[in-house]
Structure 1
Amino acid sequence: MKKQIIKKAALLLALVGVLSVQESSAQLSDQEYVAVTMDLQGILQLTMTTEPQVDFVFNTIQKYQVGITKYNATRLEVEATVPWDLYAQPSTEFWTQQIAYGAGTNGQGTLPSEILEMQAIQPNAVAAALTFNSFIGLSSNAGANTASLTPTVDTQFLAGQFGQGVANSYAPATSTASPLTNKFLVHYRIKPGVPANFPNLTTQYPTVAAATFTATAPYAQPGYYDLEVVYTLTEDL
């Protein structure tokens, strides 16, 4: 009878030991949460690293006849994190005559922007309708194309073209990593001719030339003129 009591006591002690092991292995925990956001803003940056003024001085007959070409006169660099286009427009339809030399009764003082010819030495990689791949007069499109932030089918593009899509724009890149697509050198040319009725204007824009130089004003009036060229870098529109 005494031996049975001892066995029961031993069994009870073993059960208490198992419960003690389970309680010691239990773990406590707590959690906090942090919200992480990301704001990827589109970046477009156009930098001109050359002088902002290009001067043409026609003071000899030879310069009138041959014209003057300013090579690499404007250098542009594009930094972009979004697809982009680059185009050029005149700020006004006509050059502004600041000073007129002499009476010039037969001279035309209202000269169209198209007498300024431009060429970008990096051809537009997009098959755009209007480019500066070769020397071409800067078109105002009869004033409809002057310094508008929204391009049209009549806009002249250095890069990209009118219309959206991968095939119509340049990809995001930097001028350092992609100099062949994101750096531009622009030449300028003006050829007045003798008389000063700008023969290249007649070839490239015959309608503009006919409207400018008439029987009563068949050549340009001597004077000091200026025109602003506006380069616009925009997200692919």
Structure 2
Amino acid sequence: MLARHNSVRLVPRHGSTTAVVGVLDRTTGPRLRDSLLELAAESDDGVLVDVEGLELEDRELVKVFSFVALRLGDWPAVPFVLVTGRPDQRAVLAAQSAPVYADAASAEAALERPARKRARRVLTRSSRTSTSARAFVRRTCAEWRVPELAEDAELVATELVENALRHTDSVPRLRLELRRRRLSVEVADESPRPAVVREGLDLTETGLGLRMVAKVAKVWGSSRRRSGGKTVWAVLRRA
């Protein structure tokens, strides 16, 4: 007898809604988790997921949605909600503390979108790339009246930009975002390889590395994008 190979996929719908169709099991669960995180990495306003077409073969695995919601609270800090017209699904999802609603209107209303400020800069690859990044960060922090975050934000931007220059052939794309009391510093590149902290680096030549980012940031990470490449990000918090 041939083994059954289940699948799960995301299907874009109208507005900010994306449908998930297929079977959620121990094989497809990790793929669904990664796909939702990649989707959110390119969302500015929030993620609404219609799960009515998803079969829950293993009900314990609905925890994947709770994990995604928790993970997105750190970055990119966008709201994440589920919608399904099936009462049986809502009961299972609610039991795992997943943010689920019975209809699209209720789910849309639950997409809390707090005010945020964004600034972007596409950098050129040159000997002055990091200098330009620091100047952009310093100026933006002054405009947003968060000078107390400028020093750490400059350090983080420098290390993320240098990391992109050293390990990819991409033009780094720097983005800052201020939401409530959090400032995120993000650098996107075209390489899908995740950024990792490497041990034994010679810190005297190319900067302090991602270890310094990990020390000054509240949280940091590397997230793949559905369109390709990745975003390396760090979140700083105002006192």
Give the TM-score normalised by the residue count of structure 1. Answer: 0.22
Q: Between Structure 1 and Structure 2, whose CA radius of gyration is higher? A: 1
Provide the TM-score with structure 2 as the length reference: 0.21
Structure number having the greater helix percentage: 2
